A = this chain, B = another copy of it.
């Protein structure tokens, strides 16, 4: 906790990049304590897949949204860590040979490349209950814990993340329209960003319209984030982003559907809508608004 205090104390004076890094470091420390020690191969693989990588932008959302309310730093970071557990599981399973068949993740071998396919599947299977279990013992009221658990269930389930991955794999039939792609990406990427921001409002016992505002911000940010990700894959530099590029040339992406110029324009419009969603908080939501600059 000493480092946590130190990071949090230095936050006010720092730039967005430094703030993001401080939150990432704090969440990393919490994840290190939530994950079991590496006494088994499974636990080693779980730690390999969760720790030491990622921008932790979802954690930043939970942290920044919590700053709008009176929420303890400890509880904020534990909730952020839960969302990182879910994000990490989804990456491990998405990378599997029968899904995206990705050999690299965050610049190192993907979990199944490092530990084998069976272990990678089981890593995901173990991270999901760990997320729910962690929420069940948060130091907040029972009602808040149950609210978080119910929402996380919706967001990660068959009408959330998993539905998005099914669509992405073409398992729900052929797709060809922008509307279908938007729905796919809302489920696969948006809902978890939406939950990350809304979680700060749930922890802070925020009124309904403020929770909705936070969720909308996250959903819109997620949409823009995915547009940028598609753009990077088609036009970016493999070394800089830590994974191979041009993986999606044949795939159903925003870039293939809109082309680079229209994609940039749409992404900017979406980010503007994300900022507009925060209007109920006026200038108090600056920590969240800063994140928008990150994707431009």
Contacts and interface: CB of A to CB of B under 8 A. Distances in A.
A93 interface: yes
B128 A150 contact: no
A149 B133 contact: yes
Contacts of A121: 93, 96, 98-99, 121
A285 interface: no
Nearest to A134: B153
A165 interface: yes
Contacts of A143: 142
A41 interface: yes
Given A98-B117, A118-B171, A129-B132, 10 more contacts: A41-B171, A41-B172, A41-B173, A118-B169, A125-B156, A125-B162, A129-B152, A129-B153, A132-B152, A142-B142
B99 A162 contact: no
Nearest to A132: B132
A291 interface: no
Interface in A94-113: 96, 98-99
Interface string A131-175: 011111100001101100110111011111111011001011100
Contacts of A132: 129, 132, 149, 152-153
A157 B126 contact: yes
Dominant secondary structure of chain A at its interface with chain B = helix
Contact of A153 (B119, B124, B133): B133
A149 B145 CA distance: 11
Nearest to A144: B142
18 contacts: A36-B159, A40-B172, A42-B166, A89-B125, A93-B125, A98-B116, A99-B118, A99-B121, A118-B171, A119-B171, A122-B165, A122-B171, A128-B128, A129-B152, A136-B153, A137-B146, A137-B150, A142-B143
Given A46-B158, A142-B142, A142-B146, A166 B125 contact: no
A157 B136 contact: no
| 5 cross-chain pairs, A with B, having the tightest CB-CB distances, nearest first | A133-B153, A142-B142, A126-B158, A98-B117, A129-B157
Interface string A23-43: 000000000000010001111
A183 B99 CA distance: 33
A130 interface: yes
Contacts of A116: 98, 171
A150 B169 CA distance: 33
Interface string A232-244: 0000000000000
